[in-house]
Chains A and B, each alone.
Chain A
């Protein structure tokens, strides 16, 4: 990923900043410019919204054959998480034995290294999830 895109996405990657529709109250992550439900009624009413970072594992899988940037980190768990605000997002589950991961498990966001552009490039940080304390 290019530096400019990473930098633009820092608010969502570090702090789970999404958007909330001022018309219906639905929360979106990643942020949306328009609410797909309220459409024109939401124009000008989409507000920044910081997710609490807590959610529930909806489903998950263990990756044994990762994409090139993540080679060497396998195996790792990727989960679809339903955030407490109702939106869904995908994230890695860390610090948890695979046999303990289950659908319905409560998780919370933590801050980790995501990838780096070789040894000379920038390091990208962002959210992952761990079992809720």
Chain B
């Protein structure tokens, strides 16, 4: 079987931050105990002129610049998000045009709560493996919505990552991918509604943990591997606690999770979450390192990936995402609401 994998990647997180304590102050909650309980201390906030399309373009342009891939050779662009700027009109055409990949390409927007971006990676893998395209670009990005005062508000943030999938000059080979999908209504947003609703505690055990643990176990069974065979593991990060708990239950150590765990400092970037986390791991990984990454999308499903870093990673420009995250400016709750366009 011919190898398929990551040829390039780029991630983007907006510059503004709000502290969980500041949100708690407005709603009369104890910020310290909320931060400690969720494992989220601050989250990224998009500027007034940023949305899923602009974040996707910034991430995609970084992936092109770092990898040196000729954008006209990208035959597919898929953007996964639950906050596409239009209800009807693709984000993917905006991205395709802005990276110079149009017009000889196919494109579509994906939606599967927080795992639409990893579903896009799987689609690109299929198209590349079957030689329908040379390179495919898969993006996961969001400017997440949360109702003011809702528990989601402490984490719902903005960011995204883009991956170029192909067969040539692979910096990280995707050895295998499996999925686990069920109809589990733990989190949703109805058509025309501005904010999502959720099933409170129901989002944990039967939703997140059931899918994430099942997909990850299924992948390891298929590969004949155990947790200690991996150098890093990345899970979807709705908060700082869930991925740590998933890791512990599967037998991974805290150290294997930490490098890719960004939720405590940027919040939950929804469709960007697993993909930005994986980019942080690739930023520091060495040739031969093995990575396990499992996304989660409410509704519900998980995609799990077994990845081996190749020698080509050495020549790839790295140390990007954590550096970008360090460049931040705090806003208060009123400015945060203004930037999000909440004042009508």
Contact = CB atoms under 8 A, between A and B. Distances in A.
Interface string B309-344: 000000000000000000001000000001000000
Contacts of B54: 111-113, 125
Interface string B21-49: 00000000000000000000000000111
Interface residues of B, number: 19
A112 B50 contact: yes
A56 to B, nearest CB: 21
A78 interface: no
Contacts of A99: none
A113 B50 contact: yes
Interface stretch (B93-101, B168-176, B185-193): B93-101
Contacts of A94: 47, 49
A125 B53 contact: yes
A95 B15 contact: yes
Contacts of A112: 47, 49-50, 54
B298 to A, nearest CB: 26
Contact of A111 (B47, B48, B57, B85): B57
Given A15-B100, A95-B15, A111-B57, A125 B50 contact: no
B179 to A, nearest CB: 32
B51 interface: yes
Interface string A25-61: 0000000000000000000000000000000000000
B47 A95 contact: yes
Contact of A123 (B86, B97, B100, B338): B86
Interface residues of A, number: 16
A114 B15 contact: no
A114 B47 CA distance: 12
Given A110-B58, A113-B54, A123-B86, A10 B97 contact: yes
Nearest to B89: A122
B68 to A, nearest CB: 15
B61 interface: yes
A94 B48 CA distance: 10
Residue picked from B47, B49, B57, most chain A C-beta under 10 Å: B49
B98 A123 contact: no
Interface in B68-102: 85-86, 94, 97-98, 100
A20 to B, nearest CB: 17
A113 B49 contact: yes
A72 B85 CA distance: 19
B98 A15 contact: yes
A106 interface: no
Contacts of A128: 49
A97 B16 CA distance: 12
Interface in A75-99: 94-95, 97
Nearest to A114: B49
A14 interface: yes
Contact of A125 (B61, B94, B329): B94
A119 to B, nearest CB: 9
Nearest to B16: A95
Contacts of A72: 48, 338
Interface string A92-133: 001101000000000000111110000000010100100000
**Top 10 A-B pairs, shortest CB-CB distance:** A111-B57, A112-B49, A113-B49, A14-B98, A95-B15, A111-B54, A112-B54, A123-B85, A14-B97, A111-B98
Given A95-B47, A113-B49, 9 more contacts: A15-B98, A72-B48, A72-B338, A73-B48, A73-B49, A111-B57, A111-B98, A112-B50, A123-B53
